[in-house]
């Protein structure tokens, strides 16, 4: 959040000391701050974290099928999880943002925090090597990885609802945003899920459109008697 973040303190939080601190500074620089920003590092870090998590899952879940491994990885590398890690490091305090993002609370925004975590991973890779970077990623994800089991590979509610309808040759559900409340950095979405062929409609509320749609789909599955609470 500060234009001159305390990189020493952040490096202690991360558990990694940069040989070239400017790499960390670049990883913390959002595109709203200027042309020299973390977008390229984010691209690199995204690939690295996907590879590291994929390797871990492949080695630790020997009986898992490809689809199960893909869903476990998706759970680990999704924006919500990455943003949680960013908050644990209090990364928002160190981000370099443009004035507009600062005013709108961009340092708390899930997508910005998630992108910054990937950027820092990319910066660590460039500053060291793949082995060192892998150790950092696995340490950051350690508790979450240890909690995983194959029960976590169940498909999300939107996918389950879609497959239920398709198996019966019904039209796909229609999602619509009914309202969006709150400030830009802390919005609440109200979304409806309509099943025209079944004359049913449910709703869901969440901190993002995606979360609200999943909740609406879950409620539709319950209403259809496909799933219980």
Check if 6 is active-site.
Answer: no
Residues facing residue 192 across a β-bridge: 176, 203
Catalytic residue among 101, 118, 127, 213: 118
Q: Which tens digit of pLDDT belongs to each residue from 155-204? A: 788 988 998 899 888 999 999 999 999 877 678 999 999 998 888 999 99
Same structural domain, 13 and 89: yes
Same structural domain, 20 and 52: yes
Question: Helix, strand, coil % (nearest 5) of the chain?
Answer: 60, 10, 25
Catalytic residue among 8, 22, 46, 142: 46
Q: Which helix (H) or strand (E) holds 200?
A: strand 200-206
Binned at pLDDT 50, 70 and 90, residue 22 comes out as very high
Check if 181 is active-site.
Answer: no
> What residue numbers does the annotated binding site cover?
42, 115, 118
Can you give the three-state secondary structure of 105-138, one letter per residue? CHHHCHHHHHHHHHHHHHHHHHHCCHHHHHHHHH
- Model confidence, pTM: 0.68
Q: Which tens digit of pLDDT belongs to each residue from 26-38? A: 999 999 998 999 9
Same structural domain, 62 and 75: yes
Same structural domain, 148 and 161: no
Among 104, 123, 153, the domain-final residue is 153
Same structural domain, 110 and 169: no
Q: Are 122 and 18 in contact (CB under 8 A)?
A: no
Question: In CATH, what number is assigned to the domain containing residue 161?
Answer: 3.30.160.20
> What residue numbers does the annotated binding site for Mg(2+) cover?
42, 115, 118
Same structural domain, 137 and 180: no
Which pair of structure tokens corresponds to residue 118?
A: 């990937």
């Amino acid at each position: 959040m500060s234009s001159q973040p305390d990189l020493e303190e952040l490096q202690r939080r991360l558990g990694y000391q940069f040989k070239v601190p400017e790499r960390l500074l670049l990883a913390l620089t959002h595109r709203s701050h200027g042309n020299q920003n973390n977008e390229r590092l984010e691209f690199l870090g995204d690939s690295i974290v996907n590879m590291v998590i994929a390797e871990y899952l492949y080695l630790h879940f020997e009986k898992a099928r490809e689809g199960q491994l893909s869903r476990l990885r998706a759970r680990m590398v999704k924006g919500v999880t990455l943003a949680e890690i960013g908050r644990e490091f209090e990364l928002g305090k160190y981000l370099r943002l443009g004035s507009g993002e600062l005013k709108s609370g961009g340092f708390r925004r899930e997508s910005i925090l998630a992108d910054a975590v990937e950027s820092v991973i990319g910066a660590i890779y460039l500053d060291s090597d793949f082995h060192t970077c892998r150790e950092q990623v696995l340490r950051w994800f350690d508790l979450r990885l240890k909690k995983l089991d194959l029960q976590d590979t169940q498909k999300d509610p939107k996918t389950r609802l879609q497959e239920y309808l398709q198996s019966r040759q019904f039209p796909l559900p229609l999602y619509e945003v009914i309202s969006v409340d709150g400030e830009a950095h802390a919005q609440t979405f109200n979304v409806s899920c309509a099943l025209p062929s079944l004359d049913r409609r449910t709703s869901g509320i969440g901190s993002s459109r995606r979360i609200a749609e999943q909740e609406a789909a879950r409620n539709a599955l319950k209403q259809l008697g496909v799933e219980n609470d």
